[in-house]
Structure 1
């Protein structure tokens, strides 16, 4: 009988600890782990989210839902985040090398297509 009591007490203690963890976990900050895990990923989606947030912020300000001081502070904060993402994207683009011969060939093909389109359009008139 005592074996059942000990096993039930261990099981109950484990169940209580699991419940406590699940209840208290949201109160602790996991931002440092999340930032490390997603750094360099989804910068485009982050930028889109920030830009849509800026639009919503401006809409709420125009609807007089937030004060001018709050609007200025939040707008400045979100804009600085967007700027940092754009700088990171620019640095990544500058490190990538572009084949200049390939780009020249593509541009010449585009120009030739545009000229043929204009010639066909001129013949129809």
Structure 2
């Protein structure tokens, strides 16, 4: 009976150790934020998640006020840049739609 209990405890210990390593969620580092091969939504999600973690760590006294302000400002700037990038992309799409609609109204065909 003791052997069965020990085996179960060992299996649980191995699972607790191995499962976090096997998780699929990839981390996006600050240097990767400008990498256009990573989708914009994924970069935004990562920045917002990091901002939340910074806030949580500060409230749990894991970050000094100086470090909190530095990291918070850094990631807020990244968030602003991503929002600007998103706005530019949506502006380009809006312009293209307006252009195609104006051509349709004029009776012109487009490819």
* Root-mean-square deviation over aligned CA pairs: 2.4
Question: Could you list the per-position Cα deviations for residues 65-119 of structure 1 after superposition, in whole angstroms to 9, with x for gaps in the alignment?
Answer: 11000000000000101110110110110111346xx9xxxxxxxxxxxxxxxxx
Structure 2, unmatched stretches of 5+, are 1-30, 102-111
Alignment of 1:95-110 (within 5 A): 95-97=92-94, 98=97
Contact 2:33/2:43 (CA < 8 Å) preserved in 1? no
Corresponding position of 1:52: 49
Matched, 1:39 2:36: yes
Which of 58, 63, 82 is the matching residue for 1:66? 63
Structure 1, unmatched stretches of 5+, are 1-30, 103-125
The TM-score normalised by the length of structure 1 is: 0.47
Cα distance in structure 2, aligned partners of 1:58 and 1:35: 20
Over 4 Å off, 4+ runs: none
Paired residue total = 67
Question: Could you list the per-position Cα deviations for residues 42-66 of structure 1 after superposition, in whole angstroms to 9, with x for gaps in the alignment?
Answer: 1110110110110011001000011
Q: Which has the larger radius of gyration?
A: 1
Corresponding position of 2:73: 76
Corresponding position of 1:91: 88
